């Protein structure tokens, strides 16, 4: 059972309280973008075997979206952070780098 800390209400929320929202920090394609950019934004995913940044919603709690960094191979949760950012916090990236020396970085 996955347990994530909601960065807004501070609750350690059980996965049944949460709704997964897929890969985080996608660059939105918009008016004037190429077909390639739209295709990539809408469908192509990193789907990494390892560190994954993703969106979650505390749907049966405060209802807010937030971000989580998690391992898809061990299910370890590295941390959660607010939704209003376009990239993960530097401290979190540094913490993950320290834990996983072989990791190629979040981009």
Partner 1 sequence: MRRYSAFAIAREGLRYHTGWERAWASPEPKKRYDAIVVGAGGHGLATAYYLGKNHGIKNVAVIEKGWLGGGNTGRNTTIIRSNYLQDPSAAIYEKARSLYETMSQDLNMNVMFSPRGVIMLAQTHHEVRGYQRTAHANALQGVATEWIGPQRVKELVPIIRLDGPRYPVLGGLWQPRGGTARHDAVAWAYARACSAMGMDIIQNCAVTGIETEDGAVKAVNTTKGRIETAKLALVVAGHSSELAGMAGFRLPIESVALQALVSEPIKPAMDVVVMANTVHGYMSQSDKGEMVIGGGTDGFNNYTQRGSFHHVEETVRALVETFPMLSRLKMMRQWGGIVDMTGDRSPILSKTPVGGIYVNAGWGTGGFKSIPGSGWAMAELVAKDAPGPLAAAFGLDRFREGRFIDESVAAGVAH
| Footprint of partner 1 (CB under 8 A) | 1-2, 15-16, 19-20, 22-23, 35-36, 38-40, 42-49, 52, 54, 70, 72-75
Structure tokens at 84: 């209003």
CB of 38 to partner 1, least distance (A): 8
- Report the residue number, 42 or 82, with the smaller CB distance to partner 1: 42
> Can you say whether the dihedral through the CA atoms of 70, 48, 100, 24 is positive or negative?
negative
DSSP 46-104: ---SSEEEEEEE-TTTT--EEEEEEETTT--EEEEEESS-SS--HHHHHHHHHH-TT--
């Amino acid at each position: 059972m996955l347990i994530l800390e909601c960065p807004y209400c501070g609750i350690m929320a059980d996965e049944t309280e949460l709704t997964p929202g897929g890969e985080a920090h996608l660059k939105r394609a918009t008016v004037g973008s190429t077909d390639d950019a739209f295709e990539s934004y809408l469908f192509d995913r990193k789907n990494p075997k390892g560190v994954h940044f993703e969106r979650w919603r505390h749907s049966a709690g405060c209802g807010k979206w937030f971000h989580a960094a998690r391992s898809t191979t061990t299910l370890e949760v590295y941390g959660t952070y607010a939704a209003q950012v376009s990239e993960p916090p530097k401290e979190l990236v540094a913490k993950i780098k320290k834990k996983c020396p072989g990791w190629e970085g979040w981009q």
